[in-house]
Amino acid sequence: MTEPITPMEVLPMPAEAIELSVEQPWSSPRAMAVAALRQVLAAQPTALPMGPETAAEDEGRMLSLNRFALQLVTSGISADQIEVDAKPWEEQATAPQLLLAAQVDEENAVVAFGGVLTGPEFLALAHAAERNGDQLLLAAGVFKGGLQRLLTLVQLLEPAALPRLAFGGMGVNVQRQVVTIADWLGGQLDGALQQVFGAQWQPLTQGAFFSGDAAAAERDALALVAIPLGLDGDQLVCGQAAEGCIERFVLQMVATGADPALPDGLVLRLIAAMTGDLLPDGLVITARQGSHEQRQTANSSTHIELVFGGGAELIDVSLSYPGSSDLVLPPLQLPG
């Protein structure tokens, strides 16, 4: 029999939490988050200008930190989901470069900065996020690195290195922007796949990437694109967000064909990041081409794969895991 769990009556204060005055009547969680941010910035050896000077506490107001456009979102300190106002992301001109999550405990006057998402990281998550009106609901755990990550990025990066990305250009609509698989043969990788999903194109010497029993299936391999994936708690994440995960795996997408200039097949394979590791049980890959659907679920599996033999109809690929939002790729297209 399992030992009963004695519930925690108090919660540990998150590392690097900032304590504010309990005497001050704070007008809102955002006002507390702004005050905590200013407190940290004031202690930095290098001046990092933050604006606006006034009205930074106004809900929805975009902040500017060392020339970076910063969206600040708040939640309760024990929250597992954070609401993000999606309106600024509708247009490139208003889209933030960074999204900072502050978890605020109003009862104890404590602010913990969960971490930061860059524009591409946010857009990758926004695809499958639950939506409530203009609010997107993201798992609190997807914000990584605490305030230190924010300080690192705004001090080291050039603002131009983080372009403003909007849903219209690269976000939600990216799901309908078709990715042409034939482009992979020339080393071209669709911008959305690269920036939003962290996909990496790799030159492929035919069959050299694979070993063992997988080799036969890919003797006609023409190009390989890989998306790093991970489980952050129960949440599926991709690209850079996957790098810090303990459970990491890769989606390999291999264009295949007998004609070196014309792919006529696609292999979708999930493998663990570490050779020989098992994939997380319950991880599902689903791909649909027209009315033909293939689905595989990991169950003590080192790899799972789906093979498509051609056809010009779009191939819709999604990944799911119990408790996580689905990760949906843009449609892939083989030459007709």
Partner 1 sequence: MGQYQELRSLSQMGLVRGVPQPEAVDFLITCFGAEPEASRAVDLDIFDSARDSADPLPLLCLRCRISHAFETWLLVTYKRWREKTGIELGAMASYALDDDGELTIRSGPSERAPFTYAQIASLPAGLISPFSAEVLRSYDPALCGLPHWAKLKIQAHNELKAYFRQHGLLLISDWALLRNTSPTKVRQACEQHLRSGDTIEVLCALHRHYCDPYDFAKLKHKQKTGKASGWQPDLPFLTELAPAEDTFTTLDRLKAIAQAIRRFMTEKANQSLDQAAEAGYEAADLASLSSTTDNDSPSPQELKALIDVALQRAMDQLMPQVLASSGSNTNLYRCLWGGWAEGLKQRPLANRCGTSQGTVSKLLKPELQASAIATAAAVELKRHPAFASCGQSVEAAERLVTALRNHLLEPEQEGDVAPLRRWVQNHLSQS
Residue 45 in the binding site for partner 1 (CB under 8 A): yes
**CA-CA distance, 196 to 165, in Å (whole number)?**
10
DSSP states of 225-269: EEEEEEEETTEEEETHHHHT-SEEEEEEEEEE-SBTTB--EEEEE
**CA-CA distance, 281 to 293, in Å (whole number)?**
21
Kind and range of the H or E element at 3?
none
Residue 59 in the binding site for partner 1 (CB under 8 A): no
Residue 26 in the binding site for partner 1 (CB under 8 A): yes
Residue 240 in the binding site for partner 1 (CB under 8 A): yes
Residue 157 in the binding site for partner 1 (CB under 8 A): yes
CA angle centred on 194, ends 189 and 200, rounded to 5°: 75
Residue 115, SS3?
strand
**CA-CA distance, 191 to 196, in Å (whole number)?**
8
Interface pick for partner 1 out of 1, 46, 274, 300 (rule CB under 8 A): 46
Residue 106 in the binding site for partner 1 (CB under 8 A): yes
What character string, x for contact with partner 1 (CB under 8 A) and - otherwise, covers 73-92? --xxxxxxx-----------
Interface pick for partner 1 out of 72, 153, 225, 227 (rule CB under 8 A): 153
Residue 42 in the binding site for partner 1 (CB under 8 A): no
Q: Which residues contact 96 (CB under 8 A, 6 or more apart)?
A: 62, 69, 70, 71, 88, 89, 119, 164
- Total interface residues for partner 1 by CB under 8 A: 49
Stretch touching partner 1 by CB under 8 A, among 16-24, 63-71, 218-226, 270-278: 16-24
Residue type, 81: Q
Residue 3 in the binding site for partner 1 (CB under 8 A): no
**Site for partner 1, rule CB under 8 A:** 5-13, 15-16, 19, 22, 25-26, 44-46, 75-81, 105-110, 118, 137, 145, 148-149, 151-153, 155-158, 161-162, 233, 240, 246, 323
